[in-house]
Amino acid sequence: MKSDPSVPVPRTGGVLCRALLPLALLTGACAHPATPLTPATDGEQSQDPAEGSTGGGESTGDPLDDTAALPPQVGEHYAFVNARLPGGESIVLEVDGGLVVSVSSEPPADLAVIDLEGKTVVPGFIDSHVHLAFQYGVDDVGQGAQRLMSGGVVGAVDLAAPLEALAGFDGEQWLAAGPMITAELGYPTQGWGANGYGMEVSGPQAATDAVNMIADLGAKLIKVPVDQGPALSDDELLAIVTRAHERGLLVAAHALGDVEAARAAAVGADILAHTPVEPLSDATIEAWRGRAVISTLRAFGSRETSIENLRQLHAADATVLYGTDLGNLRIEGIDAGELLLLAQAGLTPPQIIASGTSAAASLWGMPGLGALEPGKAATLLVLAGDPLEDPTWLAEPVAVYVDGELMPPPANTPGGFGP
């Protein structure tokens, strides 16, 4: 693979190293910027998998050096002190039993503390488009989740998995769509999704029955392809959306073209599983006003067309969700390249943070995530820099806490992070 000049590269050597952190996680160093990411394993029909790479330039810093100062776990009831919020406000986060129990400016007396002097904290990240079952195996979804948590992704939405994989998702922070409901011989059953990643139906009743079966097994959303191959009819799509909504499930549509995205909106789909890659008409942008779109800009090519589509959807008040399409790309953590592409699409740093935290938690119904406030999980990223100044700090957590517990370092990372 080559480096893609359309992927923005950060300004300095140190920041470039951050942009390459996913590579560092996989190769064990941040000193080989010209080495491409591990190629995708044909997870989904990326427009051009060769575009899924950042790279180029030299790097000198080693951000993982920052990690040695963090103290060990201090029990179940403790406080983070000198924790900075993005923008610089210093807070004390009291944690008990895995929950944030107070946020204040003064450390409580007689409480063990973890001093985060000089560090910034944000809520743990949510990746709204992954393929855990595909990437790690139908029986190893939990192992995949563990690996993601070490990289700062503390919740995710799996957008195509066989029925038997559904039991591996907790339905709270790790959500799954189960198999895509598709037409006979429809996407993805003739390609990468041949082994149960698609469920073929014919007719509205069969479509309705499929929703019920998938929902009964614990799926928290339904995914449908709306494409140009053998495709579901409008009646079938309407039956799916109607029953999904009756069951309280959102519907995500795989729709990459203008006609397809318009059709998905017309039948009532809630979420675009990818930013479409063909130019969207004004009418289609308007049809998606106030709905939601998952970015996946790097997995599906970082072309200007996709970036412009996302810019316009964002301007039309569509909720933008951070998503990588893990399984198509292999990035076990937060992808600096995707964050930079979100910035290119016009999201401000607070909006980029929201796309992986508050906006995602709200849309998917993950009440414990998305914010650091009393009653929420003590699930947070400790960052060496302020993501309002440079969002790629998000991709390089020096520590990750989930429910108050320090996660082990990412696999293959020498020295690791934390104590």
**Contact set with Zn ion (CB under 5 A):** 44, 159, 325
Q: How far is CA 172 from the centre of its chain?
A: 15
Q: CB nearest Zn ion: which residue?
A: 44
Nearest approach in angstroms of CB 193 to Zn ion is 10
Helix/strand number for the chain, H first, E second? 12, 18
Q: Which CB, 147 or 223, lies closer to Zn ion?
A: 223
Nearest approach in angstroms of CB 325 to Zn ion is 4
Rounded to whole angstroms, the Cα distance separating 9 from 15 reads 9
Dump the DSSP string for 7-36. S---SSHHHHHHHTHHHHHHHS-SS-TTSP
CA of 32: how far to CAs of 28, 164, 339, in Å? 10, 39, 21
Rounded to whole angstroms, the Cα distance separating 153 from 321 reads 13
HSE (side-chain half, CA atoms, 13 Å) at 213: 16
Nearest approach in angstroms of CB 301 to Zn ion is 14
Q: Which CB, 50 or 99, lies closer to Zn ion?
A: 50
Q: Which CB, 156 or 307, lies closer to Zn ion?
A: 156
Nearest approach in angstroms of CB 67 to Zn ion is 32
Nearest approach in angstroms of CB 126 to Zn ion is 15
In this structure, are residues 176 and 196 in contact, taking their beta carbons and an 8 Å threshold? Answer: no
Backbone angles phi, psi at 327, to 5 degrees: 110, -35
Q: How far is CA 271 from the centre of its chain?
A: 14
Q: Which CB, 50 or 113, lies closer to Zn ion?
A: 50
Helix (H, G, I), strand (E, B), or coil: what is residue 316? Answer: coil
Q: Which CB, 94 or 335, lies closer to Zn ion?
A: 335
Q: Which residues pair with 294 in a beta bridge?
A: 321
Q: Which CB, 44 or 260, lies closer to Zn ion?
A: 44
Q: Which CB, 29 or 181, lies closer to Zn ion?
A: 181
Rounded to whole angstroms, the Cα distance separating 44 from 86 reads 35
Q: Which CB, 273 or 398, lies closer to Zn ion?
A: 273
Dump the DSSP string for 148-184. HHHTTEEEEEE----GGGGGG--SSSEEE--SEEEET
Q: Which CB, 48 or 317, lies closer to Zn ion?
A: 48
Nearest approach in angstroms of CB 129 to Zn ion is 6
Nearest approach in angstroms of CB 322 to Zn ion is 14
Helix (H, G, I), strand (E, B), or coil: what is residue 281? Answer: coil
Nearest approach in angstroms of CB 346 to Zn ion is 23
Nearest approach in angstroms of CB 153 to Zn ion is 15
Helix (H, G, I), strand (E, B), or coil: what is residue 83? Answer: strand
Rounded to whole angstroms, the Cα distance separating 358 from 404 reads 19
